[in-house]
Amino acid sequence: MILKSRRQVFIVGCSTMGAYIAGNLSRKGDNVIIIDKDATAFQNLPSYYSGFQIEADGTDIDALKEAGIESADLVVVATNSDNVNIMIAEVSSKIFGIKNVIIRLDSLKKGDIIDDPNIKIIFPSALTLDYFFELTKQEGDDK
């Protein structure tokens, strides 16, 4: 019998999005570590979250290393600051060699500065607008 190893997921930012992702990935069996500099942010985690919580600054390279980012199969960066998210994503990819980094950005323009095949961007505002226009599409609209 071949056992499937559990994926190591490292999440920086226990924002609403970060907490939701952490909860669902841990429920699916991934090993999840979530880091946030504000311990009260961990209150966002759902009751079924079974991973680790680390209170530390995600921009501190030593803190990331101590938390075990080097063993991550996936890094999700979901703080409430685009600039912080960009920095952590770049550090994850370029310094720690993580091949699968997902970053949340509010600013569509800031996404233009990321030129790294290891970093994928989620734009919640664009997704919301796309969904809005889908909901408000009138009959006969082609787009």
Domain range annotation of the chain = 8-135
Beta-strand pair 119-122/101-104: parallel
- Under a CB-based contact definition with an 8 Å cutoff, are residues 108 and 88 in contact? no
Rounded mean pLDDT, 77-89: 96
CA distances from 131 to 6, 32, 137 (A): 33, 29, 10
Residue 135 confidence (pLDDT) above 70: yes
> What is the pTM (predicted TM-score) of this model?
0.88
Q: What is the pLDDT of residue 67?
A: 94
Domain 8-135: assigned CATH number: 3.40.50.720
Structure tokens at 57: 């600054």
Tell me what percent of the residues of the chain surpass a pLDDT of 70.
93
Closest CA to 12 of 63, 46, 48, 49: 63
Rounded mean pLDDT, 48-69: 96
Which phi and psi angles does 6 have, rounded to 5°? -75, 140
